Amino acid sequence: MTGRLSDASLDRIPPGVARPGYDRAAIRTGIVHLGPGAFHRAHQAAYADALLETDPRWGICAVSLRSPDAADALNPQNGLYTLARLDAQTDFQIIGSIREVLVAPREPEAVLDRLAAPDTRLVTLTVTEKGYCLDADDRLDETHPDIVHDIENPRRPKSAIGHLVEGLRRRREAGLQPFTVLCCDNLSDNGIKLAAATAALARRTDPALADHIESGVAFPRSMVDSITPATDDALRARVREALGLEDAWPIQREAFTSWVIEDVPGADLPDFASVGATLTRDVAGHAAAKLRLLNGPHSALAYLGLAAGHETVAEAMADPMLAGFVEDLMTAEIRPSVMAPDGLDLDAYIAAVIKRFRNPAIAHQLAQIAWDGSQKLPIRLLDTARDNLKADRPVEGIAAAVAAWMRFIRRRSRDGIAITDPHAERLAAVGRACEDRANADVARFVTEAGVVPAALASDARFIAALERGYATVQAVEDGRADVDSLRAGAA
């Protein structure tokens, strides 16, 4: 009978599986993390695990605000779990940074006690965008049921922000320094928005506490990146074979990982830079580089790959013509529009992105990346096109990618396949009305889809490039041309 992963069974793990090289009994709990989902365990907890090799102050208390699933899986394992890094060769590592998992509805006082504990110096969050209870203007939504509850019952919070406020109140009352708050969800200006919402909630019940939060609590911005596929039975079986033990909830991610953290005065942060994170004053610059050099090519690859009959990112990158197009797009058209922030080598970043796209162990579906194009294309590609035209730089590759999105909408609407997009109904109507003639169809998309901004819609150079790209992508779909005919334009 196979045993279960735990402190007691660590010595049974085969030598090929990495395990904590530190004394777990000597760890102090310096981090409280709200939202211990897969991404946290694959990302921030792995950084903390590496840091514990040299600094025992940064163990993690993970807090689930709703579901007990993570606690029920990990507490019997003493918080241990397996991280599988997916690459050409997959390797396995036991992560030991999580010391306990608490469930707020089940153990409310234990959670608040941990937030108020003297050893706690950092609170991190991965609660997804909706977990911050913000309104359409990214301000605290005071009509949200959890926020209504927390205003009426501030000592018994439900929301993530309510827990921050009550934890900071208890620390202030006890004469303790406030903890630093680090949002690890990919929201623009995440620290700024979280700081404003936290102070706004405090102000509803304790104006002095709100002033204390605004003047004395650090909310650095951050940016995180690593593809983390969901745990499935196949992963559990692979982990069981590698460990010789059962792991109730192993995690998998790509080998690449990135964590950019804002360097702000007064922030009491672990030395995450020593284990691979980037500490910078320019998180926005890193986010802009990622948006253009990673997300833009990702969308281009999705739409062009689907037109060429591919299904996954790795499969598309195994097509030499598509791979060549993407590399040319990044180096010739996108890179010149990116101002390199401190700590980021653009050439190395491009090389890392291309390697990630080629990773055969990640089956990232192109059709999923293609979702929500009306929201993604303006910031991922069209802003770059605007900047390039102003600087008299080429836009042929960008236009081809946007035209491939138009052809994607046309195929889906023609074939009666649902479009996943906030403006699906409008886009489907445009797609159904298309005539498969480049000039007419491009004009229809530009005037009716509401995606191409006015400055580009009125630029004859961009419209001509869209029409050339549209005709060529249509020929690729029909087998009359190959992607290499688009690549020349991007070079």
Q: Give the Cα separation of 385 and 394 in Å (integer).
A: 8
Q: Is 358 helix (H, G, I), strand (E, B) or coil?
A: helix
Boundary of a domain, candidates 252, 281, 310 = 281
pLDDT for 186: 87
155 within a domain of the structure (yes/no): yes
Q: Is 138 left (phi over 0), alpha (psi -120 to 50) or beta?
A: left
Q: Would you place residue 407 in the very low, low, confident or very high pLDDT band (cuts 50, 70, 90)?
A: very high
Q: Are 265 and 312 members of one domain?
A: no
Instruction: Report the b/e string of 386-398 with b at 16+ CB within 10 A.
Output: bbbbeeeebbbbb
- Output the pLDDT for position 429: 97
Per-residue model confidence as pLDDT tens digits over 164-211: 999 999 999 999 999 999 999 988 899 999 999 999 999 999 999 999
pLDDT in the model for residue 221: 97
pLDDT, tens only, 382-402:
999 999 999 999 999 999 999
Question: What percent of the chain lies above the pLDDT cut of 70?
Answer: 99
Domain assignment of residue 2, yes or no: no
The span from the CA of 378 to the CA of 364, in Å, is 22
Other residues' Cβ atoms within 10 Å of the Cβ of residue 473: 29
CA distance 291 to 288: 5
Do 432 and 319 belong to one domain? yes
CB 115 within 8 A of CB 167: yes
Q: Which has more confidence, 299 or 188?
A: 299
Note the pLDDT of residue 147. Answer: 98
Backbone angles phi, psi at 298, to 5 degrees: -60, -45
Q: How far apart are CA 482 and CA 456, in angstroms?
A: 27
CATH number (domain holding residue 424): 1.10.1040.10
Strand partners, 59: 29
Q: Identify whether residues 216 and 296 lie together within a single domain.
A: no
What pLDDT score was predicted for residue 487?
A: 65
Structure confidence at residue 485 (pLDDT): 80
In order of 123, 144, 188, 388, 416, the CA distances from 399 in angstroms are 43, 41, 26, 12, 26
Contact, 415 vs 438, CB < 8 A? no
Rounded CA separation 199/216 (Å): 11
User: pLDDT by residue (tens digit) across 448-458?
Assistant: 999 999 999 99
Query: How far is the C-alpha of 75 from the C-alpha of 96, rounded, in Å?
Result: 12
Last residue of a domain, one of 225, 257, 281: 281
Tell whether 175 and 288 lie within a shared domain.
Answer: no
For 139-159, the pLDDT digits (tens) are 999 999 999 999 999 999 999
Does residue 169 sit in the same domain as residue 313? Answer: no
Residue 481 has a pLDDT of 84
Q: What is the value of pTM for the model shown?
A: 0.89
Give the model confidence (pLDDT) of 306-350 as tens digits: 999 999 999 999 999 999 999 999 999 999 999 999 889 999 999
Question: Is residue 287 within 8 Å of 139, Cβ to Cβ?
Answer: no
Read off φ and ψ for residue 400, nearest 5 degrees.
-65, -40
**How many structural domains comprise the chain?**
2
Residue type, 388: N
Q: State the residue range of the domain holding 405.
A: 284-490
CB 191 within 8 A of CB 125: no
Residue 407's identity, in one-letter code, is R
**Does the pLDDT at position 491 exceed 60?**
no
Q: Provide the H-helix boundaries in 224-372.
A: 233-243, 283-290, 296-307, 313-317, 320-328, 346-358, 366-369
User: Which of 250, 281, 312 lies at the terminal end of a domain, its last residue?
Assistant: 281
Q: Compute and round to an integer the Cα radius of gyration of the chain.
A: 25
* 271 domain residue, yes or no: yes
Nearest C-alpha neighbor of 101 from the set 7, 25, 49, 35: 35
Q: Which segments of 113-236 are extended strands (E)?
A: 122-125, 180-183, 222-225
d(CA 57, CA 44): 15
Q: For residue range 233-271, what is the model confidence (pLDDT) as tens digits?
A: 999 999 999 999 999 999 999 999 999 999 998 899 999
- Residues in a beta bridge with 103: 64
